[in-house]
Chain A
Amino acid sequence: MSRFFRGGDDSSTESSSDEEELYTTSEEEEEEEDQEQEESTEEEDEEESSDEDEGPKKTGLSRFLVDQAESESDESDEEGVTKVKSAKDKRFDELEATITTIQNRQKIDDWGSIATEFDKLNRQVVKLQDGGKAPKSYIKCIAELEDFLNETLAKQKVTPKNKKLNATNARGLNAVKQRIKKNNKDYQAQIDAFRKDRDAFMESDEEEAPLPKPSKVRFQQEAFAPEEAAEDEDKGFSRVDKRGKAMPFSPESIQKHLRAIIESRGRKNTDRVEQIRIMEELNKVAETPYLKIRVLQTLVSARFDLGSGTTTSMPLEHWKAAEKELAALLALLETHKDHVVIEGAEEWEDDDKTPVLGPDDKYIKVPGSVVSYIERLDDELTRSLQSIDPHTSEYIERLTDEASLYNIILRGLLYYETVRKDASLEVPQESVNRIIQRRLDHVYFKPSQVVKILEENAWKQVPDNVDSAITPRGLSGDAGQLIHTLCNYLFNNSEGIIRARAMLCQIYFLALHDEYYRARDMMLTSHLQESIANFDVATQILYNRTLVQVGLCAFRKGLVYDAQNTLQDICGSGRQKELLAQGVMIQRYSQVSPEQERLEKQRQLPFHMHINLELLECVYLTCSMLLEIPLLAQIGSSPDIKKRVISKTYRRMLEYHERQIFTGPPENTRDHVMQASKALAAGEWKKATHFIHSIKIWDLMPSADEIKAMLAKQIQEEGLRTYLFTYAPFYDTLAIETLSTMFELDPTKVAAVVSKMISHEELAAALDQVTKTVIFRKGVELSRLQSLALALSDKASALIETNERTLEVRTQGSANAFSRKDGRQGGQRAGGQRGGRGGARTGGNAQRQAGGTQFTGGALGAAVRG
C-alpha cells in the first residue's frame, strides 16, 4: 500500500495541494482538476479524522497514486529506477532473509538466536518504514512469532520438569517475550488485520507489491519532501514527454525542500552529503533573490554540519564551497538591497509563496545571521589549521585561504554597515562588534606590510562605489591606523570581553611595531592585569601573548629591566607553552582529564600565530643574566643580606650549570647564555659578548645587528659593575683610566657608572677628581654582630608592614585609620603604574615588588586550568 508516503504531515499535505492550485494551472490542467477534486475530498477526510496518525491521509493519497502507478508501470525502466531500487530492495532482501532465519529457528526452538535475529529484524524494519506502516512480511513474522511464543510458554508450563530449556534458550525466550509485547503493540492494528484474515492480508500485499516498486524510486530521491513526490512525479512525467529528461527540482518546490532539510537537521539518519547535493541543485534552479538567499543559507549551514564533530575539521572542498557560497550570499545581498538577512526576523511560514514586498514594507526580511556564518567559517579554518602539520606545504596552502576569508569578513562588515544605516531594522550593535572583532583577529598579529597586502586584496574584491564608514578604503594603506580605528570602534561600542580583547589586540600590534611606550601605557591604563583573571581563557591567552610581545618590544628597545620584568610572569613559570597556547604540556602526574585535554587542544593557536618560544627564552635569559650577575656579585660578599632573587628560573639553571663537572662548547641557547653568564661574572665581558653574539636565534629579530650592538653595550656596563662589586674589597684606589681601557668604555661613561653606584650607595667609594681615581673607603665591612643587628631591624620593620597589610585586607574600605599609609601606597602605586623602572636600582626591593606584581594578573593559573 504505502511505503511510499511515510514521513509526511498534515500541513505539508495541505500545502502541497495549495501549491498545485497556484503553480500548475498552466500545464496539465485536465489532470490537475481531477487531482484537485481528489485531493479536496481527501482534505475533508483529513479534517474529519482527528487521529494524528497518517493512516487516513495515506489512504486518500494512495488512492490517487494507484492510478498513477498504473499509468506509470510502462515506464518502469526509466533512469534512476534501478539505482534506487537496489538500495531499497537490498534492505528488503535482508529483511526477508532475517524473517526466514527466524522461521527456521522457530522450528528448532532455538530461542537464543531468535532473540538476536528479532532484534536485527526490528532494526531493519525501522529503516524501511520511517513512521509509516511496516512491510507485510514483517507483520506476518511478528504475529507468528508471538503465537509461537505463547505456545512455547504454555508448553513449558505443562511440562516444567522433563523438558527444561537450556540457559541460552531460556534467556533468549525471556528477552523475546518482553520485547515482543512492547513491539507488537505498535503494530497492533496491522497484526489484528493479519490475524483476522491471514490470506486476505497477505494477498493484498502481493497485489500491491509490484506496484510500489517503480514509484519507490522517486520516493527515494524525494526522501526529504515525500509529499512532493506525487506532484513532482506528475510533472516529471509530463516533462519527460516534452524534454526527454526528468527535472526533479523546480523553483516552486525549493521552499519545501529546504524546510524538509532544515527539519531533518541534527537527526541521526540524515545523509548530509546527499542533502548538500540536493541543495546545490536547488541553488541552480532558484530564481528569485529570496529563494537564492534561502538556499544559500541552508546550504552553508548544512556544510558546517559536516564538520560538527568535536575533533574533525570540515573537509577542505566543503570549506571552499561554503566560502564561495557565503561570498555569493553577500554579493546577492549587496545587489538586492531590499533583501536583508537579519537575526530575529519572522520565519516565513507559507511554503507555497515567496514573500513579496508589501506596500509599506521596505525590506524582505530573511531570518539568519551572517555574522554567525562568518564566525563559523573562520573557526573551521582555524580548526583545520590546528590539525595540519605546520611544516608541510599543505599548511601554507591552507593559509592562503585566509585571504579569501578576510575578504568575506570585510564584505560582511560592509553588509552590516549598510543594514545598520536603517534604524528600523534594529540590527544589534553586537553583530557589528563581532564581525569587527573577527577582522581584528586576523590582522593584529601581523606586520603592517602583510596587513597592507591583505587589506588591498580584500578591497579589490569590493565594488568601487562601496566604502566603509568605520574603516574607509583609504585606511587600508596604513595598518596602524586601521587597527587603531577598529580597536577604537570596539572600545566605544562594546563592553566586557570584546572591549578587553580590542585593547589587547591594539597593544599587541603596537608592541609588534616597536611602539613600546604607547603599548606599555595602554597596558597599564587598561588595568587589565587586575581583572584578567575574570575573563575567559581565550582572552587570558591573548593577554599573555600581549604581555610577551610587550616584553620583547622592551627588549628590542634596549630596556632590559622592563623586558625582564614583563616576561617574568610568563617565562619564569616554566609553562610558556601552555600560557601562550602554543603546545600542550606533558603532564607528569596526569591529573588532566581527557575532557580538559581536549579543550586545551582546541585552544591551541595555529602555527602562524605563534610567538617563537626559543627566541622568547633567549631574550628572557639574556635579560635575567644582565640583571642577575651584577646582583650576585653585589650580594656575594655579604652573605647575611637576605638574598634577592630576580629570576628563580635563571638561578636554577645557573646552579645546574655550575654543578656540571665538564662543560663542553655551548650547543643550545641556554648553554650560550649560561657560559656568557659565567664569563661575565668573572669580568670577561668580551667572552660573554662573544657567547651572546653567537646565539643564532637573534637573526630572527628585525635589525639583529642593532640588538647585538645594544647587548654588547649592556654587557660592557654590567661587566664593569660586576667587576667593581667583585673586586672592590681588594683595592684601595682604582684609576678610571684603567677601568676605561679594561672595558673599552669612554672615561666619562665609566665615571658616570661609578658615580651612579656611589650615589645609590651600592659602592662605598668616592671619586678623586684631581687624580681621576676611585677611592674605596675602608672600614665599611660589617662585623657579624652588626650585620645581624641590621637583619633584625629589617625583620622588625617587615613585620610591622605585614601587620598593616593584614589589617588593611581585613578592613578593606573602612580603613581610614591608615591615611598615612594609604597616601604612601598611592604614591607607590602611581609609580608602579607608570611602570617599569621606577626608582633606580637601589630602590630595589620595594620597587621591584611593586613593579613585579603589576603585570601579574592571575592569568597564570587560570589560563591553564581553564
Chain B
Amino acid sequence: MASAPTANGDAAAVASDYNLVPKLAQNLDRHLIFPLLEFTASQLVDEESGEVKDQAKAREIAQAKYSLLKKTNMTDYVANLYCELQGLEEPPAEFAERKQKVFSQLQKYEQETSKIIELLERDDVVNNLRSDKVANLEFLKREHDVTMDMVDALFDLGNLQYSCGNYADASEMLYRFRVLSTDNDKVAYATWGRLACEILTMNWETAMEELQKVRETIDSRLSQNPLAQLHHRTALTHWALFPLFNFEKAREPILELFFNAGYINTIQANCPWILRYLVVAVITNRGRAKNPGIHQKQMKDIVRIVKQEAYEYQDPVTRFVHALCIDFDFEEAQRQLVLAEEVLRGDFFLLAHADDFVDSARHLIFESYCKIHARISLQDLSARLGLNADAAEKWIVNLIRDTRLDAKIDYKEGTVVMNHPPSSVYQQVIEKTKGGFFRTQVLNAAVAK
C-alpha cells in the first residue's frame, strides 16, 4: 500500500507508514485477507459524513479486492465488484457462466456426497462408529458400501463451499471428512480449512480447538522437514492473530503458543512484524494475567526479542518498548506511545485494543519510573503521562491503591516519594532455595524411572 499522506495529516501517514496488511497478506488465506481489505477501505470513509476521502486509494482497494476474490467462487460478489470497478450496469456474461458452472459442480458434489451425509445423520450408523478410523471405514464399506471416493468427495465439496463463501457448511463437510478419512495429508488440509472457516464465522471456541490441532500436526508430522515446519508455523502465527485479539479466552493459550521456542524463533526469523501484535498482547495482558509471574517473564522475553530484532523490524510499538525498557529514555517512550496509538487505531486487529494499550503502557512507564526514582515531581509526571495535574494526581492515587506501590504523595512539595526497601538478604536466600525441593523430587522421579 502506498503511503500517501491524506487530509487527516500525520496520523494517517503514521498509520499507513506502518501498515502491515501487505506483509500479513502473504501468509493469510484469500478469504482471511478480505476482512483486512474491508477494514482498510472503511478507514478511508469519513465517520461523520460517510464520504470517501481518497478516491484513488479507494479505487485501488476495490481493485485489490477484485483481484483477490477473482479466483474464488463467490461469483455474485465478484461480478458486483467488477461492475463497480468498470462502471458497468450489468455484469458481463462470463460471470453468469461461471456461476452456472459453480452451481453444477456444487450439485454434482452434493449428489456424490448425499449418501454418506445421510448415513452420517442416521443414529444407528453413528453409534457404531468408534475412534479407530480404519475400522470405521471398514464398517461403512461393509455395511453401507461407502467408498473412498465418496469420502474424498466430502473434502471436495467442503473446499468448493469454502470457496463460495459458504463457511459454515464447509466447516461441517470438512469435519465429516476428517472423521472418516485416513489420508493424513488431506486431513491436515481439512484441519487448516476448518480453522479458516471457524475464524470467518467467528466461532472462536472451535477455532481454538482447530488451532491446537494444526499446531499438533505441525509439531509431529513436519518434524523431519524444518523448512515446511517454518512455513506452516508462520502461517499459523498469522492466523492465530484473529482469535488472539477477538476472543478473550484465546489470549493466554495463544500467547503461550507464541512464546513457545519454535514459534518465537519462527517469528524472529521469518516474520518479525508479528512482534507488534505480540508486544501489544503482552502489554495489555498485564492486569488480566492470572499469574503475574508469567506476565513478568513474558515481558522480559519480549524486551529481549525486541532488542534482538531492532535491526530488522521497528515500529512505534516496538520502539516504545525499546525506549522504555532498554534505554530508559522516558521522554522518547512518551513520544513513541503517541505514535503507537495512531498505529493501533489504523490496525485491523489492534483497533479495539488501542485504549487498553495506552492505559497499560502508562502503567508500565510509571512502574519503571517509580522503580528508578526516589522522588518525582507531580507536575513533571503529569506532563509525562499526558494528563493535567489534578487528573494525574487522581490517576496516581488510584495506581498506588491498585498496585500497592510503596509510595506517598507529598502535597506540599508537589512530589511523589517512593520508598524502596532494599531486598532483604534472607528473602534472597529463600528465593534461591525455594525450588530446590521440587526440583530434587523431579530428579528423583526421573532417576527412579
| A interface with B by C-beta (< 8 Å) | 517, 521, 525, 748, 751-752, 755-756, 758-759, 764, 766-771, 775, 777, 779-780, 782, 786, 789-790, 792-794, 796-797, 800, 803-804, 807, 811, 815, 817-818, 820-821, 823, 826-827, 829-831, 833-840
Contacts and interface: CB of A to CB of B under 8 A. Distances in A.
B359 interface: no
Nearest to B329: A752
Nearest to B373: A767
SS class, residues of chain A in contact with chain B: helix
7 contacts: A758-B372, A768-B373, A770-B375, A779-B422, A792-B429, A797-B435, A838-B304
Nearest to A516: B311
Contact of A790 (B265, B380, B428): B428
Contacts of B390: none
Contacts of A827: 259, 261, 264, 301
A845 to B, nearest CB: 13
A758 B425 contact: no
Interface of B: 259-261, 264-265, 268-269, 300-301, 304-305, 307-308, 311-312, 326-329, 331, 368, 371-377, 380, 413, 415, 418, 420, 422, 425, 428-429, 432-433, 435-436, 439-440, 442-443, 445-447, 449
A752 B300 CA distance: 19
Contacts of A818: 442, 446
A647 B113 CA distance: 72
B449 A817 contact: yes
B265 A833 contact: yes
A804 B51 CA distance: 66
A818 B441 CA distance: 11
Contacts of B439: 800, 804
SS class, residues of chain B in contact with chain A: helix
A638 to B, nearest CB: 12
Given A767-B373, A790-B429, A830-B261, 10 more contacts: A759-B371, A766-B372, A769-B415, A777-B420, A779-B422, A797-B432, A817-B446, A831-B301, A834-B265, A838-B304
A341 B428 CA distance: 76
Nearest to A766: B374
Q: Which 6 A-B pairs have the closest CB atoms?
A: A766-B374, A826-B261, A817-B446, A755-B328, A793-B432, A786-B425
B372 A755 contact: yes
A769 to B, nearest CB: 5
A215 to B, nearest CB: 74
B436 A768 contact: no
A775 B372 CA distance: 10
A830 B371 contact: no
Contacts of B329: 748, 752
Nearest to B428: A790
Nearest to B371: A759
Contact of A769 (B373, B432, B440): B373
Nearest to B323: A752
Contacts of B300: 839
A837 B63 CA distance: 46
Contacts of A769: 373, 375-377, 380, 415
B271 to A, nearest CB: 14
A329 B440 CA distance: 73
B446 A790 contact: no
A807 B445 CA distance: 11
Contact of B261 (A779, A789, A829): A829
B182 to A, nearest CB: 28
A176 B429 CA distance: 94
Contacts of A792: 429
Contacts of B445: 817
Contacts of A782: 425
Contacts of B261: 823, 826-827, 829-830
Nearest to B310: A517
Contact of B443 (A748, A803, A826): A803
Contact of B265 (A811, A815, A830): A830
B449 A793 contact: no
A759 B325 CA distance: 9
A833 B304 CA distance: 13
Contacts of B305: 834
- Residue of A521, A755, A759, A838 contacting most chain B CB atoms (<10 Å): A755
A855 B185 CA distance: 39
A175 B446 CA distance: 78
Given A793-B429, A837-B307, A766 B443 contact: no
B367 to A, nearest CB: 11
Contact of B433 (A751, A793, A829, A838): A793
A766 to B, nearest CB: 4
Contacts of B372: 755, 758-759, 766-767
A52 B337 CA distance: 99
Nearest to B424: A786
Contacts of A821: 442
A510 B435 CA distance: 45
Contacts of A759: 328, 368, 371-372
Nearest to B370: A766
A239 B312 CA distance: 80
Contact of A517 (B311, B368, B429): B311
A656 B26 CA distance: 60
A501 to B, nearest CB: 21
Contact of A830 (B264, B307, B311): B264
Given A807-B447, A835-B308, A770 B432 contact: no
A391 B129 CA distance: 85
Contacts of A800: 435-436, 439-440, 443
Given A517-B311, A769-B373, A769-B375, A797 B265 contact: no
Contacts of B377: 769-770
Nearest to B307: A837
A270 B261 CA distance: 67
A510 to B, nearest CB: 14
A823 B264 CA distance: 13
Nearest to B269: A525
Nearest to A817: B446
- Residue of B301, B304, B422 contacting most chain A CB atoms (<10 Å): B304
A817 B442 contact: yes
Given A769-B377, A797-B432, A829-B261, A789 B371 contact: no
Nearest to B380: A769
Contact of A767 (B374, B440, B449): B374
A833 B312 CA distance: 16
B152 to A, nearest CB: 35
A826 B263 CA distance: 11
B428 A834 contact: no
B311 A789 contact: no
A804 B418 contact: no
Nearest to B259: A827
A803 B368 CA distance: 37
- Residue of B377, B425, B446 contacting most chain A CB atoms (<10 Å): B446
Nearest to B297: A827
Contacts of A831: 301, 304
A779 B422 CA distance: 8
A827 B265 CA distance: 9
- Residue of A748, A815, A834, A840 contacting most chain B CB atoms (<10 Å): A834
A829 B326 CA distance: 21
Contacts of A758: 371-372
A770 B420 contact: no
Given A800-B440, A829-B261, A766 B308 contact: no
Contacts of A786: 425
B327 A752 contact: yes
Contacts of B447: 807
A548 B268 CA distance: 25
Contacts of B268: 830, 834
Nearest to A799: B436
Nearest to A521: B269
Contacts of B311: 517
A807 B443 contact: yes
A829 B262 CA distance: 11
Contacts of A755: 328, 372
